[in-house]
Structure 1
Amino acid sequence: MMEELPVASILLVDDHPANLVALEAALEPLGQRLVRARSGTEALKRISEEDFAVILLDVQMPELDGYQTARLIKSQERSRHVPLLFLTAIHRDERQMLRGYSQGAVDYLLKPLDPDVLRAKVGVFVDLHQRQEQLRRREARLREQERELLLRQSEANARAILEAMPQAVWASRTDEEEAWCNPAWEKLMGGRVSGAPRASFLEGLHPDERAVVEAGWREALRSGQPWEAQHRMGSEDSWRWYRLRVTPLPCAGHRCRGFLCTATDIDDERRSHLVSQLLSHASVMLSSSLDYHATLTRLAQLVVPRFADWCTVDVLEEDRPGARLTRVAVAHVEGGKAERLLELHRRFPPRQGSPSGVGRVLDSGTPELLLDVPDSLLQRLATDAEHAALLREVGFSSCIHVPMRARERNFGVLTFVIASKRHRYDARDLALAEELGRRAAVAMDNALLYGEAQRAQRAAQEANRLKDEFLATLSHELRTPLTSILGWTQMLLKRDDLDEHGRRRGLAIIERNARVQRQLVEDLLDVSRITSGKLLLNLKEVALREVVEAALESVRPTAEMRGVRLMADLGPLSETVMADPTRLQQVLWNLLTNAIKFTDSGGCVALSAHPRGATVEVVVRDTGKGIPRELLPHVFERFRQGEIGREQGGLGLGLAIVRHLVELHGGSVEVASEGPGLGSTFTVRLPLRPARQEGLPGAEDTVRVPDLAEAKGNLLVSEELVSAVAALLGQAVH
């Protein structure tokens, strides 16, 4: 029959009755005894009267605050080891939390409290207290049995009692006489009980702890007082933690008759406590920062030496060629060997698809446990003798590789290694390592998602800013020519005193501004046609020289008016291309006009065209204002204008239209500039007309351009912009 767990007492300390009622309501489902205290003084009185499993302590209280009360609680032997949980709704900064932890708190909870979280945290300590209390009661019963055994003074009856006990018992009268043990001790030893009493007693202890236990045993015999401690027992295949208690047998004269030792298995409880503590600290650490490099480094330092002699964290950098693993964290129980681990990674880096443990785990996404690594296996795991020598130097006996995996994605590999051959990992350690890997992956995934969200937010803000700038520019560019047109129209209609020269001048201004207005609207319509897939190209065999010369002649008056020299180097250009001559001339006109606009008087704009293999290059160079280096990657994006571009006016659509028209002709366009004041160079590459093949468009073929909103996703003219244009035109007319 399973022994019933004792009811634990939980002390609730708060100066507000409402808070006490809320705490009781949250903790009532635990089924434990809840004790109230309205002040620090009352809490100290309660603690002096009874033992508590856990204390929930409010920080802000009159007279004695939470920190002072905690210090007094920890100063008393009876309550020194009782877990403290601070509760506060005021002190939320890290300094106050550190102050709470320095007073011995195991946790620092902020109000308002989540009842489920509070119940879970308190439940852990209640369960631990109950099991400790259960162990104390069990040990008390065992001690009572020991006393009864000694009182009876009957060896036969004593043996019968000891053999029936579930605890392992070992007894010896003197060092020279034969020892005795019960069946539970024989089971613990795996059936091997032999040799002298001292040897058979120490045989079941972990080699690293035999000297300590022997010293405690001799001290108990010397002083006549029981000695108790926790140590590992079992065999090399399976070490478990036991609570050892050595009790001297009644003395005969001045000489002890011997001693009796009991061993209680506490391995599961001890491991559960350590695992819970480690996972709790790891979770707090991983969630404390979005810098996953720093948190993974602290995680490696946390598990050494609690869980491993050394630990490494390798992160998969998918944006690098070959998907290389980068070692972002290293920790070793011996500080000097951390550098050797970094050298190991540098000289023998693991990769995806490699035969190393890290490579296999990264490919398969499943953990790998090496219980014991003999020298022969180490040679096979290493790539060469030098690699094996480095592994031996840093220590390599038992190893766990676990993937950091979240949302079906591998982020890297955690490696835990035990260097000593006296201990090795088991299946329970593997489960803990997997959980650490999962939590590390979630933390890393959250950090990456947050970074992506920030970048997306910045991109959206930039797009919104560009839209606002475009609307402001559009308003100005549309309103300016309309104002001139309306002004001169009214003047021509209302004034009869204008002579012929005045009327011609007014009509010329109206015509010039109307052309500017038409060009702005045409640019908007072109962008709309491109993005909606409604732009039609009338492809035919075109002599490139004719198109270039026509574009040069169309911009020559503008160049002369601005005092800019216009030069052309066409050489023996006789090649033909499959193109829409109107659209191709629009490309060249935009580039030339753009160059002239940004070139000061006395400057030069040069156009050259030469064949290059299967393509022909048309280059437009100017000695104008140049382009800042940071703006170069964005020159062909819609509405992108530098400070100089805004000064010169325009909507920022011309170069975007150029790029799309060139790409629709199967070509490419690029820009180069050494910087502001150093001019710029635009290079258009177009494919020469190929030999006619069946199924390809030939002369006089009309091609409908596909929807480029899917192909490029860049030049989008929204309904909002079209509505804005219509509204501005309407305001200007009225």
Structure 2
Amino acid sequence: MSLQEPSKLLIVDDLPDNLRALDALIRDEQRLVFHAHSGDEALALLLEHEFALAILDVQMPGMDGFELAELMRGTERTRNIPIVFVSAAGRELNYAFKGYETGAVDFLYKPLDPDAVRGKVNVFVALDQQRRETRRQMDALEKSRREQEVLLQELNATQAELQRSLRMRDDFMSLVAHELRTPLNTLFLETQMRTLHLKRGNLQAFSGEQMGAMIKRDERQIKAMIRLIDDMLDVTRMRNGTLSVRPAQVELMGMLERVVSDLSLQAAASGCAISLAPHPPVTGCWDEFRIEQVVVNLLTNALRYGGGCNVEVRVEVEGKCARIDVIDKGKGISPEDVERIFQPFERGARNGEPKGLGLGLYISRQLATAHGGELGVTSTPGQGSTFSLALPCDVLVPCAAVSA
């Protein structure tokens, strides 16, 4: 049996000499003996401590031993404490019968037999030690059970996360293969056509005008593959904490004018136009390349999901914060998808019609956070969406690594 705290014993008698004599009989290193000179003192101790045994004198002024026993049996906390009565009265008064009626486990007459007292106390102390050891073991088992439940929940969560990661990996590899196959197939077909022309000696197919068109087609396919690879590398760097942000003074309106101009042909191919609302120059300390990357992502998505409607770019300065709004008039985003689209490998349309790995918004939000800013969206289904990039104008963000 493991080491335990000493068992507590209560002796109640109105005579100090009787208390000292009984204490001397039952005390040892594994027991704490408490004295009470009256029923009231005994009740106070009973409410404060958990006793292995209570030895009560029957004849006390005020509250006698029988009355104290009845109160103990009527209280939940003290109901199960074993009671031994002690009396100097003669056996003819039949106190023992009344004592057993009040719930006593034994009745002793004075003068006490020391060996009998020690033997009875030893029994109840041993029972108390066993009871507490059993309770300790039960508490330990319950604690172990709770810990095992928590561990099982953690294992289940880990297993579910692992399965999710494996599914995401498989979906991602399938998606990457699909997205890379399109430009690669186009390049392969172009190569086969040129090879066929060369074999047939059809050099007219390589005139200056036609060669220029071929090169532009090749450039588009190569840029598409580079963009996919760059996105995958950015996500890997973010998760490894190695994607750096290098702030410098940037004039925002000039950068936006250049981006809108660069995307004008792509917008025209989608049957719409991109407009930039005029605004005075806005200067801040940002990584121009990364902010441009975010804006390009937002505009590309607006063209992709905008349903052929015009896209508007606005800049607002509120206090010490600059906000870029990219507004489209497309089909909008449902409330349950607003946060989903910012997760990696999630795309705006569930039916898979728009192309892409679903990394643009995830990367963009991480870059916004790295600048001390925010990227969010407000949208009404059927009425379009507004993506807002908020950037602090007066905070010099040190060169830092971005971690997902």
Please give the range of the TM-score, normalised by the shorter of the 2 chains.
0.5 to 0.7
Gaps in structure 1 of 5+ consecutive residues: 1-187, 209-230, 236-263, 273-425, 691-695, 698-702, 715-734
| Residue matched to 2:259 | 551
Q: 1:526 to 1:443 in 2, by over 3 A?
A: closer
Which residue identity lines up with residue 484 of structure 1 in the other structure?
T
Helix, strand or coil at the partner of 1:203: helix
| Residue matched to 2:283 | 576
| Residue matched to 2:233 | 525
| Residue 233 of structure 1, aligned match among 85, 92, 106 | 106
Helix, strand or coil at the partner of 1:541: strand
| Residue 164 of structure 2, aligned match among 449, 462, 465 | 462
Whether 1:483 aligns to 2:189 is no
Query: CA RMSD, aligned part only?
Result: 3.4
Q: Please state how far the C-alpha of 1:473 moved relative to its aligned partner.
A: 0.9
| Residue 366 of structure 2, aligned match among 636, 654, 660 | 660
Helix, strand or coil at the partner of 1:521: helix
Helix, strand or coil at the partner of 1:463: helix
Show CA shifts across 1:570-598 (max 9, x none).
Answer: 4x342211112222111101111012111
Q: 1:528 to 1:452 in 2, by over 3 A?
A: closer
Whether 1:687 aligns to 2:382 is no
Whether 1:623 aligns to 2:329 is yes
Q: 1:473 to 1:618 in 2, by over 3 A?
A: same
Whether 1:705 aligns to 2:400 is yes
1:464-613 correspondence to structure 2 within 5 Å? 464-495=166-197, 496=202, 498=205, 500=207, 503-570=211-278, 572-601=279-308, 603-613=309-319
Native 8 Å contact 2:247 2:399 kept in 1: no
Show CA shifts across 1:556-583 (max 9, x none).
Answer: 222221123434334x342211112222
| Residue matched to 2:7 | none
1:183-582 correspondence to structure 2 within 5 Å? 189-194=85-90, 196-197=92-93, 199-207=94-102, 232-234=105-107, 432-495=134-197, 496=202, 498=205, 500=207, 503-570=211-278, 572-582=279-289
Native 8 Å contact 1:573 1:609 kept in 2: no
Native 8 Å contact 2:298 2:387 kept in 1: yes
Q: Please state how far the C-alpha of 1:234 moved relative to its aligned partner.
A: 4.4
Distance 2:242 2:150 in 1: 40
| Residue matched to 2:31 | none
Native 8 Å contact 2:96 2:107 kept in 1: no
Taking only the aligned residue pairs, the percentage that are identical comes to 26
Which residue identity lines up with residue 599 of structure 1 in the other structure?
G
Distance 1:477 1:554 in 2: 23
Helix, strand or coil at the partner of 2:333: coil
Q: Please state how far the C-alpha of 1:540 moved relative to its aligned partner.
A: 2.0
Distance 2:134 2:272 in 1: 76
Q: 1:592 to 1:268 in 2, by over 3 A?
A: farther
Q: Please state how far the C-alpha of 1:668 moved relative to its aligned partner.
A: 1.9
Helix, strand or coil at the partner of 2:263: helix
Distance 2:359 2:107 in 1: 80
Distance 2:85 2:216 in 1: 112
Show CA shifts across 1:196-255 (max 9, x none).
Answer: 45x3331331415xxxxxxxxxxxxxxxxxxxxxx83349xxxxxxxxxxxxxxxxxxxx
Given the two structures, how large is their TM-score scaled by the length of structure 2? 0.65
| Residue matched to 2:55 | none
Show CA shifts across 1:661-695 (max 9, x none).
Answer: 222222221234445x55333221111035xxxxx
Helix, strand or coil at the partner of 2:302: helix
Q: 1:650 to 1:557 in 2, by over 3 A?
A: same
Native 8 Å contact 2:234 2:243 kept in 1: yes
Q: 1:645 to 1:622 in 2, by over 3 A?
A: farther
Show CA shifts across 1:361-420 (max 9, x none).
Answer: xxxxxxxxxxxxxxxxxxxxxxxxxxxxxxxxxxxxxxxxxxxxxxxxxxxxxxxxxxxx
Gaps in structure 2 of 5+ consecutive residues: 1-83, 109-118
Q: 1:536 to 1:266 in 2, by over 3 A?
A: closer
Q: Please state how far the C-alpha of 1:432 moved relative to its aligned partner.
A: 5.0
Distance 1:609 1:596 in 2: 19
Which residue identity lines up with residue 469 of structure 1 in the other structure?
D
Show CA shifts across 1:144-185 (max 9, x none).
Answer: xxxxxxxxxxxxxxxxxxxxxxxxxxxxxxxxxxxxxxxxxx
Aligned length: 305
Distance 1:450 1:611 in 2: 51
Native 8 Å contact 1:564 1:600 kept in 2: no
1:98-109 correspondence to structure 2 within 5 Å? none
Work out which structure has the larger RCO, using CA pairs closer than 8 Å and 6 or more positions apart in sequence: 2
Native 8 Å contact 2:246 2:400 kept in 1: no
Native 8 Å contact 1:536 1:705 kept in 2: yes
Whether 1:649 aligns to 2:355 is yes
Given the two structures, how large is their TM-score scaled by the length of structure 1? 0.38
Helix, strand or coil at the partner of 1:491: helix
